[in-house]
Chains A and B, each alone.
Chain A
Amino acid sequence: MLLNPKVYELLKKESTIKILSTINENNQIHTVIKDSLQICDDQLLYLEYLESSTTNRNLTFSMWFKNSVTVLILSENKTSYQINVTPVKCIVSGPVFQKFYTETLQKHNDTDLAAIWIFEPDAVVNETLSVRQKEERAQRPYFKHLDRLAL
């Protein structure tokens, strides 16, 4: 699935807040801000800096057992998208790994690189409040308090 241009641009912006949610083998959710979520060569990827991180462990679990992984992005103007993704590849060595490793060292002094995860987007939902309100008003007329309709 291709990401639409708006999402694509938001993912590329440094000011965008990027959040990654994974679940472990006991279905516990782990949610963390991950600035290293990024678009590169038209792929959505995540650079894992900590080999022992819960995210790294959960992504492995998700790849093995096809569990859900969710990316949430939030722009400065509160535009927000949820992207359901599947981890399709984990790169831990080789030329691609070494390229990102070198870049990581240059960008973040004293930060190692544990893995590069490549995600394939499965679904994108615009979670911006104003957009969701508009949708709900149009589609679910019962979901409101009457006083808001009163004269």
Chain B
Amino acid sequence: MVSISLKNKISTEYPLSSELKSLTQKYAQFPYLIMLKTDIQRRGIYYTHEALKKADPTVHQLAGTHIFGTRDGILTHRPEAFMLRDGTSVLTTPTPLEQNPYIIDLRNDKLTLVDGQNELEEIEYWTKPDFYDKTTKSGIPMNLIASARPQRIYIMPNRYCFFWSDKQNCLFCDIVNNLQKQKKELSMPTRLKPEDVEETISEALKQKGRFTAICLTSGSDFNGVNAFDRETDYYIEILKAVGKNFKTKKFPSQLIATAFNQDQLGRLYEQTGILSYTPDIEVLNERLFNWLCPGKAHWVGYKEWKKRLKEAVPIFGRGYVNTCIVAGIELAQPYGFKSEDEALKNVLEEAEDLAADGVNTVFTVWSPRPGSIIGNQKNASLEYYIRLASGLHALRKKYKLRLDHDDYRRCGNHPDSDLARIL
């Protein structure tokens, strides 16, 4: 029985921590709920035993299949994320208590976000899609083929990043270390077969009203006649398999991949149903890109990456090409910016250069993970992230850029693109 009755009257007045209180006053035009989400992602989350008991594996989506790991290094059995009352998703990285994370606890039988003595918000765990209980004909649990966000199907066809083979992995990334864990603990396949993907998507689409978009992402694969031909061809193969489930050639979809050349992009767009493209540049500064993303720097280069982003716009359209930065890594030491003001100025100038040519920049809050090279460092202040989100939002307004494929609903992992709800 589905009921919409609220358990209790919802209060809109909450006691805030002193930092949040002063920032809500200083940035009165920035939504409190997005500020809160940003800070949760910045500080991490800790689920109490009572809160975990409320996570029902038959109902809720538990973590484990995500491409990146957690701050406490534990893979499974915690909720992957939760929702706030405005429909905002908060993807969480469970974090040890000694690092001062927010806490999810059970208070008056309600799942409650707690900070110190302050009970901040009632939250809801993400619900699990029906296909999670199914298995492909080849015998693979479908939750290992695709994962879900509240409104998006997430496929990671290849979880291995070849930059790691040459020790040129991004310094903030733990993808391959996480994969090793997932293989060991979950028997996660490294590389998916198109027929398994086709079957899983078919099953997922049976659930009415569950999904609005499909997103693909993988590790980089520089193999091929031209660098990244093999990665391109594999995406085409997978996207064709996905496309067999739709009556239209194009379907709401996003590809988060390496920056491909014109020929590769042309093939992708012409031969598949893909509608948007997100090659993640990770950091908007050439010097730091060379340090933090040695594989991307070696195989593509910073200037070429930006050029390819801009060249993708005539193919996909303004606003349908974007790039993500891992916000906070530009302050990582010893080579990062020494002040947040300096970092912010640099990032927003570079983002504007892209926006002027129709490319959106979004950010995720850097979550230093133990499986990454700079995982022992700290991310930026909440105020930095508020200013960054506001700055990127202002650029979208100035250049009239939509961000429908990577917004609060399709993705939910970018505080700045949550703001696009009121654009």
Contact = CB atoms under 8 A, between A and B. Distances in A.
Interface of A: 24-25, 40-43, 45, 51, 57, 60-61, 63-66, 86, 88-99, 101-102, 105, 113, 115-116, 118, 120
B127 A61 contact: no
B357 interface: no
B208 A105 contact: yes
Given A94-B124, A96-B2, A105-B208, A88 B12 contact: yes
Contacts of B6: 43, 88-89, 118
Contacts of B2: 95-96, 99
B207 A57 contact: no
Contacts of B12: 66, 86, 88
Interface string B1-25: 0111110011010000000000000
B209 A43 contact: no
Given A94-B124, A98-B207, A102-B209, A57 B85 contact: no
Interface string B247-267: 000000000000000000000
A42 to B, nearest CB: 7
B409 A64 contact: no
18 contacts: A24-B422, A60-B86, A63-B85, A64-B31, A64-B33, A64-B86, A88-B10, A89-B85, A89-B86, A90-B85, A90-B86, A96-B3, A98-B207, A98-B210, A99-B2, A102-B208, A115-B87, A118-B4
B202 interface: no
A41 B7 CA distance: 12
B151 A93 contact: yes
Interface in B20-48: 31-34
Contacts of B86: 60, 63-64, 89-90
B10 A116 contact: no
Interface in B197-231: 207-210
Interface string B285-323: 000000000000000000000000000000000000000
Contacts of A113: 209
Interface of B: 2-6, 9-10, 12, 31-34, 83, 85-87, 124, 126-127, 150-151, 207-210, 409, 421-423
Main secondary structure on chain A at its contact with chain B? mixed
B4 A98 contact: no
A19 B85 CA distance: 24
Dominant secondary structure at the B interface? loop
B87 to A, nearest CB: 4
B209 to A, nearest CB: 3
A93 B126 CA distance: 9
A118 B87 CA distance: 12
A97 B209 contact: yes
Nearest to A24: B422
Interface centre among B9, B85, B207 (most CB of A within 10 A): B85
B208 A40 contact: no
Given A25-B422, A41-B4, 8 more contacts: A65-B31, A90-B87, A91-B4, A93-B87, A93-B210, A101-B209, A102-B208, A105-B208
A93 B5 contact: no
The 7 tightest CB contacts between A and B, nearest first, are A101-B209, A93-B150, A64-B31, A90-B87, A92-B87, A98-B209, A88-B10
B9 A120 contact: yes
B208 A101 contact: yes
Contact of A88 (B85, B210, B409): B85
A44 to B, nearest CB: 11
